[in-house]
Structure 1
Amino acid sequence: MDLRQPLDSRAYLLMLLLCTIWSLQQITLKATAADFSPTLQLALRSGIAALLVWGMMRWRGEQLTVRDGIWKPGIAVGVLFAFEFLLIGKGLQYTSAGHMIVLLYSAPIFAALGLHWKLPSERLAPLQWLGILLAFAGIAVAFLGHGSATSVDMLIGDLLAVGAAMLWAATTVVVRTTRLATLPATQVLFYQLAAAFVLLLPGAWLIGHTTFHMEVPALWAALAFQALAVSFFSYLVWFWLLRFYLASRLGVLSFLSPLLGVVLGAWLLDEPIERHFMIGAAMVLVGIVLVSGHAWLQQALQQRRA
Structure 2
Amino acid sequence: MATRGTRLDWLIFIALGFFWGSSYLFIKIGVDHGLQPWTLIMFRLLIGFVLLASVVGIAREPLPREPRMYGHLFVMGVINITIPFGLITFAEQIPSIGSSLAAVINSAVPLFVIVIAALFLKGETVTINRVVGLAVGFVGVAILVGLDVTNLGSASAVGELALIGATISYAIGNVYAKAHVHGLRPMIPAVFQVFFALLVTGTLAFVTERPLAVAWQPEALLSVVWLGLLGSGLAYLCYFRILQHWGATRTSMVAYLLPVWGIALGALVLSEPIERTTILGAILVITGIALVNSRYGTRPLFARARPPASAEPPAHRTEAGRP
1:286 maps to 2:287: yes
Question: Equivalent residue for 1:254?
Answer: 255
Distance 2:273 2:16 in 1: 25
Q: How does 1:1-306 map to 2 (within 5 A)?
A: 3-33=1-31, 34-80=33-79, 81-94=81-94, 95-120=97-122, 122-144=124-146, 152-178=154-180, 180-204=181-205, 208=209, 210=211, 212-214=214-216, 216-291=217-292, 293-295=293-295
Q: 1:61 to 1:263 in 2, by over 3 A?
A: closer
Cα shift readout 1:88-145 (whole Å, capped 9, x = no counterpart): 1111112110111111111111112222344455424211111011111122222226
Q: Retained in 1: the 8 A contact 2:139–2:284?
A: yes
Q: 1:143 to 1:49 in 2, by over 3 A?
A: closer
Tell me which amino acid in the other structure corresponds to 1:83.
I
| Partner-residue secondary structure (3-state), 1:182 | coil
Distance 2:148 2:188 in 1: 41
Question: Equivalent residue for 1:302?
Answer: none
Moved more, 14-23 or 239-248: 239-248
Moved more, 153-162 or 241-250: 241-250
Tell me which amino acid in the other structure corresponds to 2:87.
L
Distance 1:66 1:91 in 2: 38
| Partner-residue secondary structure (3-state), 2:268 | helix
Moved more, 191-200 or 159-168: 191-200
Distance 1:31 1:15 in 2: 25
Moved more, 152-161 or 244-253: 244-253
CA shift, 1:147, in A, is 9.0
Q: TM-score, normalised by structure 2?
A: 0.81
Distance 2:274 2:208 in 1: 29
Cα shift readout 1:260-283 (whole Å, capped 9, x = no counterpart): 111210111111222223322221
In angstroms, what is the RMSD of aligned CA positions?
2.6
Q: Retained in 2: the 8 A contact 1:248–1:295?
A: no
Cα shift readout 1:12-71 (whole Å, capped 9, x = no counterpart): 211111111112111111123222234311211112222322222222233431525111
Moved more, 226-235 or 196-205: 196-205
Q: 1:142 to 1:36 in 2, by over 3 A?
A: same
Q: Retained in 2: the 8 A contact 1:135–1:288?
A: yes
Distance 2:150 2:7 in 1: 46
| Partner-residue secondary structure (3-state), 1:181 | coil
Question: Equivalent residue for 2:303?
Answer: none
Q: Retained in 2: the 8 A contact 1:15–1:254?
A: no
Unaligned runs of 5+ in 2: 299-323
Tell me which amino acid in the other structure corresponds to 2:85.
F
Q: 1:5 to 1:63 in 2, by over 3 A?
A: closer
Q: Retained in 2: the 8 A contact 1:4–1:245?
A: yes
| Partner-residue secondary structure (3-state), 1:273 | coil
Instruction: Name whichever structure is richer in helix by fraction.
Output: 1
Q: 1:23 to 1:59 in 2, by over 3 A?
A: same
Tell me which amino acid in the other structure corresponds to 2:72.
P
Q: 1:143 to 1:224 in 2, by over 3 A?
A: closer
The percent of aligned pairs where both chains have the same amino acid is 22
Q: 1:283 to 1:206 in 2, by over 3 A?
A: farther
Q: Retained in 2: the 8 A contact 1:43–1:197?
A: yes
Distance 1:120 1:177 in 2: 10
Distance 1:206 1:297 in 2: 51
Q: 1:255 to 1:209 in 2, by over 3 A?
A: farther
| Partner-residue secondary structure (3-state), 2:271 | coil
Distance 2:70 2:296 in 1: 34
Distance 2:112 2:146 in 1: 20
CA shift, 1:146, in A, is 5.5
Q: 1:66 to 1:82 in 2, by over 3 A?
A: farther
